[in-house]
């Protein structure tokens, strides 16, 4: 199972004069009330990460063309610097519950890099998929990079936490109402392979889950050197959301060629099956400068070889598309 990039990538490029003029990233897609909602993170000149939305009708869906909501961002940062979400709101993970949209997100306080301040997952709720209210009980849980799944009447909130050895593992907590989650103990469900030479030997960064038949499938970012700079996307499957088995043909998508827009790292591989086609929207970072000049080659090496090398200076996040025709292989 190998995904093929869309030749016209990126499908949501960073765009001047918008809230995503520096980065567009963290895609998540939800079918709600006969419309596909495309939630994503943008960062503008002010340096804040905030969440916006685009949409498409099922009749017009091609994975490429999305109508941008003119009122973006729909979930802005708090203006109170002491709030848990005053600096950055990112990593949307949306689900329909009780006929409305519950959207979970990572939040960092504006001074989180200067102090030993934990990052949290917050919640915003919307009746129409566009106008959101942050939940009064925020934050929901300590963690980052959420994913949410409804299974057998229970809400499973997946998230990342860093170990003492400096790498990410994936945990989940359950809830009956999508608001109150059991904090202790979180269930460890997925981690790095720890096998030398594999693309995911050191850390796991960002997951997306979808159901098909009696199986759940997880697309995940695999890191071979750094804790949050995945060079490829892998696939795993589970019958119960607790026990996961890696696809032996991994990875299913690797970063782009040197000098390309997604040459550095790949995050948040969101997979949607429509007909016989699997659409994979993802965040990629790269220079997009090619390799014709010494400056371009230097920037490319930095992006590919260093942890977040040149990020927001010579390399930038944008959202792209890859597709696969056929079935998920058996293994």
Residue 115: its pLDDT value, please?
Answer: 65
Chain-centroid distance of CA 212 in Å reads: 20
Tell which residue, 104, 93, 164, 97, has the closest CA to residue 134: 104
Residue given tokens 């032996």 in the structure block: 248
Residue 28: its pLDDT value, please?
Answer: 98
Residue 109: its pLDDT value, please?
Answer: 92
Tell which residue, 274, 142, 273, 168, has the closest CA to residue 220: 168
Residue 118: its pLDDT value, please?
Answer: 80
DSSP 176-202: SSSS----SSPEEEE-----TT-TTSS
Ramachandran angles phi, psi of 303, nearest 5° = -65, -40
Distances (CA, A) of 54 to 42, 70, 72, 213, 222: 12, 9, 9, 28, 28
193-202 tens-digit pLDDT: 999 999 999 9
The residue ranges of the chain whose pLDDT is under 50 are: none
CATH architecture of 23-254: 5 Propeller (2.115)
Strand partners, 99: none
pTM: 0.97
């Amino acid at each position: 199972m190998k995904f093929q990039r869309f030749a016209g990538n990126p499908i949501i490029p960073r765009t001047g004069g918008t809230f995503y003029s520096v980065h567009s990233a963290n895609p998540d897609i939800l079918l709600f009330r006969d419309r596909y909602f495309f939630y994503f993170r943008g960062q503008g000149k002010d340096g804040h990460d905030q969440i916006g939305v685009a949409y498409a009708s099922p009749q017009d869906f091609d994975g490429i063309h999305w109508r941008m909501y003119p009122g973006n961002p729909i979930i802005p940062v708090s203006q109170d610097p002491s709030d848990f979400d005053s600096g950055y709101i990112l990593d949307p993970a949306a689900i329909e519950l009780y006929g409305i949209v519950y959207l979970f997100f990572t939040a960092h306080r504006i001074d989180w890099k200067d102090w030993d301040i934990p990052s949290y997952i917050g919640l915003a709720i919307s009746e129409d998929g566009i106008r959101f209210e942050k939940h009064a009980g925020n934050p929901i849980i300590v963690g980052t990079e959420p994913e949410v799944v409804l299974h057998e009447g229970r809400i499973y909130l997946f998230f990342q936490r860093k170990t003492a050895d400096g790498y990410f593992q994936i945990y989940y907590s359950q809830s009956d109402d999508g608001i109150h989650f059991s904090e202790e103990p979180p269930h460890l469900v997925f981690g790095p392979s720890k096998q030398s030479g594999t693309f995911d030997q050191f850390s796991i960064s960002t997951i997306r889950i979808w159901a098909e038949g009696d199986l759940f499938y997880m697309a995940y970012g695999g890191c071979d050197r750094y804790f949050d700079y995945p060079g490829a996307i892998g696939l795993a499957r589970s019958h119960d959301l607790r026990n996961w088995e890696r696809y032996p043909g991994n990875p299913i998508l690797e970063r782009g060629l040197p000098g390309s827009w997604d040459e550095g790292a790949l995050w948040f591989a969101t997979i949607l099956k429509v007909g016989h086609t699997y659409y994979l929207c993802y965040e990629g970072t790269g220079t997009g400068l090619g390799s014709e000049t010494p400056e371009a080659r230097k920037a490319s090496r930095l992006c590919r070889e260093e942890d977040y090398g040149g990020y927001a200076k010579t390399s930038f996040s944008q959202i792209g598309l890859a597709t696969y025709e056929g079935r998920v292989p058996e293994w």
